[in-house]
Amino acid sequence: MTIDLSYVMDVILPYVIVPLVAYIAVLFVLDRKGWLGKDKPLALLGPILMVKTLHGRKLLERLSRYRRSWNLFGDLGIVLAFVGMVVMFAFLLWGAYRSSVPSTAVKAPLNEVVTIPGLNPLLPIGYGLLALVVAVVLHEFCHGILARANDIRVKSLGVLFLVIPLGAFVEQDDEDMMKVPARKRDRVAAAGVMANFVLAFLFFVLMAGLVASSVHVKTSGIAVLGVVSESPVSNASAALGPEGLAPGDFLTELNGSATPDYRHFQLALWETHPGETVSVQWYSESRGGHVSTNVTLGAAVHWYDVTKLNASQIRSLTTLSFLGFEPASVPPSVLLGVLAKGPAATGTGASLNTSDVVASSALFLALPITSEMPLQGASAQFYTVDGPLGALGAGNVWVVINTLYWLVWVNLLLGIFNALPAVPLDGGFLFRDVATGAVRRLRPAWTQGKTEKAVNMLSIFATLLVFFLILWELVAPYLLNP
């Protein structure tokens, strides 16, 4: 293994090591001067710096006056948090099982699991940080509102730092939290989860309305993301010069057969053979409409990695025609349907299995994995924009849509993740109250101390189990299938 020293010097040193050393030095100075402490404006939560303030408490007081509405909000949050807890725990069990089966195990890079913009390549730094800050700040603010609506004092509000700002917090009075009935305490705990779900819904409604009213696919056909170098269509396009097939175009016809989607393209391609000259037509807005040329098809075996294939598979590839372009992983019409309808995007793109609510929801969340979001570059060229967004200009339109999408995505995942029964997540505190009630019903003769000890053990077990399942899904494929 070799170390790329230029990458270390140009990226790791200035953007990771230097800021981290500076952050540690600042904490050291603050501690030496006596400015850090649990009851001081600056405090540490592990390695995280808490900057506390009393500003904002009056706003919490004003908002919390509508107690009946906020308590209904909190009660609904309890229900949704428990549903999310069960669903997420079931997914963790399922993921751990799949990771233990060789045929389904996926070796995921660690940085694709860490939900931190900049470390996770699926999360764009700009959109990711904005969405994360909005989600965390409003999540915590709702904790504060529900605390005051249930007569729990708020000691302070503030910002969390770990080299960079990570989010916000609302610090409730611990004594008040322990004195109030469990239902009031659970409302406060579930408020953050409920806030993220509500925000995800509101941002989705706004995004869906804008997309449905303003964005349209240019034409029917297969969206072209790229052209394979030295392929048949690449060589034919080169002869056409600037009129050749290019990213952003739509392949509309192959050998006289219309290709409104990839399935029709495959059917038309199967009717040909390597070495055959066929007509290819595509749509290009920049070139004023449809362009066509003749292309001599190649054999797929020359463009595929055959090192892991058996003799029969290799022979099959020698008879399979190859054109040589890269289609969009999600057809533009399907992508717009998912962005504008979400779980209701049924009946679009049967080849992608989006004919039911579960599959449509999964596709919405998986768009970053398919490299479709943020929507930019060649992918953005597949659409025209008018209506409410038309006046913004092409570039600004996608900034608005991408921002709303990541606000939905981060809020939804943050809400679901926080429902897990692990301390210090919101679900961990809900689980603790449920465990306390269960122990008291099952062992009514136990003393308070014995009950608390049992509940502490159950909470620790649940927390360790959650983190074990997450860790197991990451390491099992490497341990069991090296």
Mark whether 43 and 56 lie in a shared domain. Answer: no
pLDDT above 70 covers what percent of the chain?
A: 87
Containing domain of residue 267, as a range?
A: 222-327
User: Is residue 16 a part of any domain in this protein?
Assistant: yes
User: Is residue 349 a part of any domain in this protein?
Assistant: no
Mark whether 70 and 141 lie in a shared domain. Answer: yes
| Least confident interval from 64-68, 108-112, 315-319 | 108-112
Q: How many CB atoms lie within 10 A of CB 252?
A: 20
Over residues 349-391, the pLDDT tens digits come to 444 444 567 777 778 888 887 778 888 877 888 888 888 877 7
> How far is the C-alpha of 95 from the C-alpha of 49, rounded, in Å?
34
Question: What are the tokens at 262?
Answer: 């990839």
Mark whether 77 and 187 lie in a shared domain. Answer: yes
Identify the CATH number of the domain in which residue 253 sits: 2.30.42.10
- Greatest mean pLDDT among 123-132, 201-210, 233-242, 326-335: 201-210
Tell which of 310, 327, 344 closes a domain: 327
pLDDT at 76: 94
pLDDT above 90 covers what percent of the chain?
A: 14
Mark whether 104 and 192 lie in a shared domain. Answer: yes
Mark whether 45 and 62 lie in a shared domain. Answer: no
User: Is residue 313 a part of any domain in this protein?
Assistant: yes
Mark whether 196 and 64 lie in a shared domain. Answer: yes
Over residues 138-169, the pLDDT tens digits come to 888 899 999 999 989 988 888 878 777 666 77
Mark whether 60 and 145 lie in a shared domain. Answer: yes
Mark whether 59 and 148 lie in a shared domain. Answer: yes
Task: Report how many domains make up the chain.
Answer: 3
pLDDT at 18: 84
User: Is residue 395 a part of any domain in this protein?
Assistant: no
User: Is residue 392 a part of any domain in this protein?
Assistant: no
Mark whether 57 and 105 lie in a shared domain. Answer: yes
> How far is the C-alpha of 475 from the C-alpha of 110, rounded, in Å?
9
pLDDT at 125: 77
User: Is residue 337 a part of any domain in this protein?
Assistant: no
Query: What predicted TM-score, i.e. pTM, was given to this entire model?
Result: 0.80
Over residues 163-191, the pLDDT tens digits come to 776 667 788 888 888 888 888 989 998 99
User: Is residue 377 a part of any domain in this protein?
Assistant: no
Q: Which residues make Cβ contacts (< 8 Å) with residue 107, sequence separation at least 6?
A: 477, 478, 481
Over residues 17-39, the pLDDT tens digits come to 888 889 889 999 998 888 888 77
pLDDT at 348: 45
Mark whether 143 and 176 lie in a shared domain. Answer: yes
Question: What are the tokens at 249?
Answer: 């175009």
Tell which of 297, 327, 357 closes a domain: 327
Tell which of 32, 51, 70 closes a domain: 51
Mark whether 112 and 235 lie in a shared domain. Answer: no
